[in-house]
Amino acid sequence: MIDSAEPQSSLRRALGLLRLVGAAEAGGIRLKDLAEQAGCSQPTAHRALQDLAAEGFVEQIGKRYRLALDFFVLAARAGHADGLRDLAKPVLLRLSATLTDTIFLLVRNGYEAVCLDRIEGPFPIRSFTGDIGGKVPLGLGQGSLAILAHLPEAEREAVIRFNVPRLLDRGFLDEAGLRVELEKAREQGWVNLNTGLIPGMAGLGVPVFDAQGRAVAALSVGTLADRLRPERLPGVVAILKAEAATLGAMLNPFDTALRHPSRSLSSVA
C-alpha cells in the first residue's frame, strides 16, 4: 500500500502477488486480502493465483494461498547461482569440524547480507540472519559487518546512509558506534562482537574477497562468549582467515569462467 510506482504489466502484478503470498503468515493468505494488499481486483488476483498454482509456485489449502514446495525447490537453485555455495561447502565443513561451532556463509546482496549456508554446532545459535535464506542489513552481525567494513568507500557510505535508520530501528548501533566498529574491523581484518541476541553468545566474522578484491561474502562463527576468550580467539581468527582466503582463491577461476562461458549451456535437459 506504500507503493508509489504501480507496475504496469500483468506479470509485474502477478509477481507482486507472489511476493505477498511469501510475506504472509504461515497459515497462508486469502484471496480477498491478497487482492486488497496488491491493489487489484479480486478476479484479477484470482486468475493470477490460478496460474501461479498451475505452475506449481503457490498452493491452495482450502481458501488460503501459500508458497508451494516446488517453489522452494526451484529457489534452492538460486543459491547455487555463482557456485559459491558449492565451493564453500567443504570450507564450512572443515571449519565446523575444526571449531565445533556454528558456521555461517553470508553473501552480500545490495544493502543486505544473505545467509547462503550454515552448519550447526553443538550449541543452538540464534543469529540475526536466522536460518539459510535469512537476511540482515549490512552492518548488523559480525559477518555482515565484516563485509560492510571492506567495501569500497563510496559504496560503504551509500550502504551506511541507507542502513543506519534500519539499524536504529532494530535497536542496535547508532551511526557513531557503527563507524567505530567499521574502523576497528578494517584495521583488524575481522569482527568480534559480543552484542549477540543472547547474552553470553558471541561471534566472529571475516570477509571473503573475490578476484577483484571486493568483499563479496563473509565467513562467520557463532558460539558461546566463553569460547572466544583471549586464549582461544587468535587461533579461531587465524583459522577463519585462512579458510576465507582459500574460498576467495576459489572464486577466481569461476569468475573467469563467467567471462568466457562454456557453450555447453545450449544442451540443457
Partner DNA sequence: CTCAATAATTCCGTTATATGAAATTTATTG
Partner DNA sequence: CAATAAATTTCATATAACGGAATTATTGAG
Of 11 and 180, nearer to a second copy (C-beta) is: 11
Chosen from a second copy, DNA, none, partner binding at 68 (C-beta under 5 to 8 Å by type): a second copy
Summarize as ranges the residues that interact with DNA (CB under 7 A).
Answer: 8-11, 13, 30-32, 40-44, 46-48, 60, 62-63
Chosen from DNA, a second copy, none, partner binding at 257 (C-beta under 5 to 8 Å by type): a second copy
Least distance in Å: CB of 46 to a second copy? 12
Quick one: cell of 257? 569462467
Cα separation, 260 vs 193, in Å, equals: 41
3-state helix/strand/coil string of the chain: CCCCCCCCCHHHHHHHHHHHHHHCCCCCEEHHHHHHHHCCCHHHHHHHHHHHHHCCCEEEECCEEEECHHHHHHHHHHHHCCCHHHHHHHHHHHHHHHHCCEEEEEEEECCEEEEEEEECCCCCCCCCCCCCCCEEECCCCHHHHHHHHCCCHHHHHHHHHHHHHHHHHCCCCCHHHHHHHHHHHHHHCCEEECCCCCCCEEEEEEEEECCCCCEEEEEEEEEEHHHHCCCCHHHHHHHHHHHHHHHHHHHHHHHHHHHCCCHHHHHCC
Of 34 and 91, nearer to DNA (C-beta) is: 34
Least distance in Å: CB of 106 to a second copy? 11
Chosen from a second copy, DNA, none, partner binding at 232 (C-beta under 5 to 8 Å by type): none
Least distance in Å: CB of 218 to a second copy? 14
Of 194 and 256, nearer to a second copy (C-beta) is: 256
Which has the closest alpha carbon to 218: 243, 254, 188?
243
Of 96 and 195, nearer to a second copy (C-beta) is: 96
Of 66 and 156, nearer to a second copy (C-beta) is: 66
Least distance in Å: CB of 14 to DNA? 7
Chosen from DNA, a second copy, none, partner binding at 54 (C-beta under 5 to 8 Å by type): a second copy
Chosen from DNA, a second copy, none, partner binding at 16 (C-beta under 5 to 8 Å by type): a second copy
Chosen from DNA, a second copy, none, partner binding at 253 (C-beta under 5 to 8 Å by type): none
Cα separation, 11 vs 18, in Å, equals: 10
Least distance in Å: CB of 251 to DNA? 21
Of 6 and 174, nearer to DNA (C-beta) is: 6
Least distance in Å: CB of 156 to DNA? 28
